[in-house]
Amino acid sequence: MSGVLRAVVEPGFFSSGPVQVALAVSAAVALLTSTLGVFTVIRGQSFAGHSLADIGATGGSGAFLIGAGPLWGFMVISIAAAGAMQAVGVERQRGRDVATGVVLGASLGLAALFLYWDSTLHNSSGETYTILFGSMLAISPATVPAVLGLGAVALGVVAIIYRPLLLSSVNAELAAARGVPVRLVGAAYLLALAAAVALSCLAIGAILSTALLIGPAAAALQLTKRPWRAIVGASVIALAASWLGVLLSYDSYYWPPRGHSWPVSFFIVTLVFACYLAARLVGSRGRRR
């Protein structure tokens, strides 16, 4: 038994400091993003969620430029972008994806500028890769309390607005008729989403954080239509994919080409996608019966 375990979990996995940090951060990120992801999928705002993440790249590169921690760069710019999207009106179905796209395009232009300055002024191009694709095994332990704290605050916001948010996500007109302040609830949701995306930018990189946001939620919603069950299912999938991803990345140091770990983000994305495909298979069989 221990031989099998030894073969799966390379020696030194659990006692390694970076691994412990990665496991803690990925657990917090997985729970938070998959919960918000269920609402994002129901509301049809995948593009907004993905845009917030991409815009996070602008913040991360800007923070590196002025020497601040990447988490704060991700956080500030995501919240600013969420505010801008709310102002432009992402609630409207018509024209909202153009508005989102214009904000995204402008901020990607800024990211190009910041990354260019990062690599010319600081003379390092590895930073581009870290900001865009993340490096979970290189998170500094000092940021862990901030990550857990921000995650708890965002989850708290979702818990407080859970019922009105669900109602206004499923049927905005009905919610408004029942006296739910739809715009206010939408704004609170976008803020929580911005925080979640900022945290997952830190963990698996700006352009891959959409995987944890949309993938587990989409998979869970293939299996059940009950929101509460979907949230639990999505959290389980996200947590399993993240931890397994960290483990596989740690193991992959001994895979070809030897002496070079495969990126954590790649494993997480692949596992999440596999879960989605499996859920779709199971879901379609259940529906046929």
Partner 1 sequence: MFSGFMVNTWIVASIVAVVGGLVGFFVVLRGSAFVAHALPNGSFAGAAGAGLVGINVLIGLGAFALLGALGIGWIGRRDRPDVATALTLVLMLGLGALFVSLSVEYAPATYSLLFGEVLGVSTSQLLPTAGLALACVLVLALLYRPLMLSSVLVEVAETHGIRAARIELLFLVCVALATTMTVPVVGTTLIFSLMIGAPAAARSFVRRPGAALGLSVAIALATVWVAIAAAYDLNLPVGFFVGVLSACSYAAGRAWVAWRRRASAVR
List residues binding partner 1 (CB under 8 A).
41, 44-47, 49-50, 94, 97-98, 100-113, 115-116, 119, 125-126, 128-129, 132-133, 205, 207-208, 210-211, 213-215, 218, 222, 257, 260, 262-263, 265-266, 268-270, 272-273, 276, 280, 284
Cis peptide before 257 (omega within 30 of 0): yes
Question: How many C-beta atoms lie closer than 10 Å to residue 99's C-beta?
Answer: 17
Distance in Å, CB of 237 to partner 1, minimum: 13
Nearby residues of 283 by Cβ (< 8 Å), 6 or more positions away: 222, 223
Task: Indicate the angle between helix axes 182-204 and 144-160, nearest 10 degrees.
Answer: 160
Distance in Å, CB of 214 to partner 1, minimum: 4
Query: Is the distance from CB of 57 to CB of 228 less than 8 angstroms?
Result: no
Nearer to partner 1, 101 or 156 (CB): 101
Q: Which two tokens stand for residue 252?
A: 């992959």
Distance in Å, CB of 171 to partner 1, minimum: 16
Distance in Å, CB of 119 to partner 1, minimum: 7
In whole angstroms, what is the distance from residue 156 CA to residue 201 CA?
A: 20
Nearer to partner 1, 146 or 240 (CB): 240
Residue 189: name the closest of 289, 65, 43, 56 by CA.
Answer: 43
Nearer to partner 1, 128 or 168 (CB): 128
Nearer to partner 1, 180 or 208 (CB): 208
Nearer to partner 1, 180 or 186 (CB): 186
In whole angstroms, what is the distance from residue 157 CA to residue 102 CA?
A: 28
Residue with tokens 């919960």: 35
Distance in Å, CB of 133 to partner 1, minimum: 4
Query: Is the distance from CB of 85 to CB of 190 less than 8 angstroms?
Result: yes
Distance in Å, CB of 142 to partner 1, minimum: 25
Query: Is the distance from CB of 199 to CB of 35 less than 8 angstroms?
Result: no
Nearer to partner 1, 168 or 249 (CB): 249
